[in-house]
Structure 1
């Protein structure tokens, strides 16, 4: 029996810059389908391409390729676009570009260019002087090349001292403040890659600070560093091509003269680059609160001790995005969609049902504004609850785009027929029944809007060991909380009254005070959407024995001993949380947003 004829690959696969450069060496015409990894090549055109290859390629003058824009520097301008783009390369020069799966136009362009090549080869015509299509200007290309290089990452270690942690300086030092503040690490353009909260041992302090061991006050310094929690931060300066920035006063001689229409001269800001984190900390008068280590050997030592998985963690790009199931899909197929989301490796950090206002619906559906069905879409979007989700995954944005597919059903059927857009299409509207953030910046804005952060007080009681504390803090972070303030304190009766004011007249309150006097407690401000309810759920029932039956994975069930020594405490209401936080931390924190 004759063997089955092996099918020749229709399109060459180009997925990096070197393969692109090699492809440009092709003689004749190469038709290139430029695609995104999340969208895939345009399958709708493959029948046409196969037909043309059979009809026109007897002299091997016609070639087809698919090129992934995400990994090819030259194709950077075509990233984040779902619409198919076809480039036409003649002997290595891009001579034409067609946007969209316009089969008649693509067919005509291929036939015309192939006929030209044949006439040129036969000496019947001179090769035209094509104007090459420029895919990017030189600045863009250079930027792309720079970003594709594997540049060595520079790290520093910052240790925020216990005294600074107790007095609430941590947030001021490492986080963004009001617009215009410049005395903060993040505002200066540095990136906090990892952080840990630890009580340093005497051995660790002597090791880390061995460079100053000969100073007269070193022996007094050691106990100051071991008497409370320190923050250890791994901080990136960015790559050598893009270090952090600082503002300086411009040279008056170089300032531009105001135009006639200017009523007021605005002094331009000149940006210069910070040489190091140490330089920045010293210039901002933060040295008394924060020590910096930039010697790479010492940096690596600290990373190995406190961040043993740092190298593997930094190779994973975790991204948080906002997703939404529109009302019809939420009503009919919610569980099916959620199962697929989790099977695809997404972690659902937060979810809530929400009935959109007309204004909110118009904002989320603005890409359909010019469609005939826009009014029906807005009516549908406001007709019942949608399900809003916050999802986390490595490279989450691109994975979500690829999973759900394009905005319209027609595009999805052409470009990505296996997408959720096609799988969960509804007869009512020809659109994608799932929504996703268009960028990481948009995702953060949407998350802040639909999941406004709320503060609650968290307290870890004295009987909890240091190891158990760290485990509880890990559980808190895994549950999506951000610890925005934290201090270790041996609570006085007056301070305890501020936290337990609701029960201070109860007979058993003296027993509570006795438990709190056994040692220092760790008091925290925990921040996330729905923080109060979520923290109480994570804590579990007040009685650990009851918790072991009703909520065996809760903190109190795991670490509590009895009703009094039940490991943790938390606020019950928004008002209680704000009042307690303000009293304990002595500085007002932003008010909890009203719950939607």
Structure 2
């Protein structure tokens, strides 16, 4: 009970206009989690908020939650949020909105809280001007009316699919979109060999949802399905595969797995529904059952669909692709959020993000084609002067569009010819090097993304203490964190195997206890694959000591599922070499 009281006091629940006005009058910064009935408040960040509150111990920092569907009825300012299901955090200071964050991005949320609290304290202490914002994600009716014509014009364009390709419709449903998984799922779709011919974010009306699912109108859960599918934005995609491959419809249905989540987890644990669905209704993705249904669904979402002529097929098709963007240290320190906002407004999705300190050797390796140029010493100095923010951006025609937004590589030329481009806007005074990088071609984009986000394998172990009570929860979290489980084996280690597995600890005093514990019952051995897999898995586990984990990383697996430093729930390789060695030991050459 004590835990529940602590959580309740952490986030005040706002239920009416009077409480809303009282919250706005509260001195300091208030962060409001705006949520919908069916998806609930963002539980994933509650531990983070508590950690921030405890670390800062600042009476000027406050948290609140607000259920839109019921409670926003009485709160005028939040009327526009009805029906929106993307996780949204609103920041208020002095009764005014000072920042907005969409999506459950924990690192960004933490940084914004710290920064906005510092700004608010500066305003209160020094009497400075408070910078207010509008939520650009919510357009006024007049703005929508103004934008309707160009939007309609865009939709009137034909969707052209080559005659040689088979295709199907895929839908990333509101539950997956609301929990910030759409981009992750899109990357997995592409990694599985699918080509995305069209991609549209769309919120269905109830009438549209009823029409789309009319073949299921007699089923018992039809009304719930309609309400769910019209509760928030979905991502609608037209998928194809390269010529000569298996039919796209069966291939897509194989990737998404069975409709029933329990069946998917049992029989197809690598499927998208097993990884991202929570129950049969909220099963994350939709797929056409056969080619006839695919044709009907394509006509429903893209009525101007047509098959390309031979002449048209000779032209180059624009696909969803990825390109690399680098924000160099000088502007990454001061302007990252502004640049990220412009990236978002330009329609890009940030598929991968990493902040890294580069060595001189790494810069030379990345820019090997520029080493002999006169400007390279200045480029080298710039790239090693602090952390570089690396982004993999996804969009149709991403390479071309990102280059256009960046503008000319020469800073002076950018200022003269394209003053609105990013390189002109964020040029540093007396610095000859532009502050943003973009891939020159599709080939370069692949090389550069692989450089900053290499695919890795790591070995993960769910230990005997966690297998019985927490094994399924840990597996679910692994899949939900974007890891692909490429090998899985449940086994009981013999003493000889346990001693060999932990041979690097042989001389340590706890070695005997560790070996005995690891032989006590079944373990789950997993090979996890992902960009930056080793580091990401170690971050997901948290520190070896659960007490330390609860302080430093309260949302980590060990903080929540381990009991002490010996019975600490999970194991992970320390580096890539160690991972490959342990994978060979458990699984052989795979």
TM-score normalized with structure 1 length: 0.43
* More helix per residue: 2
TM-score normalized with structure 2 length: 0.44
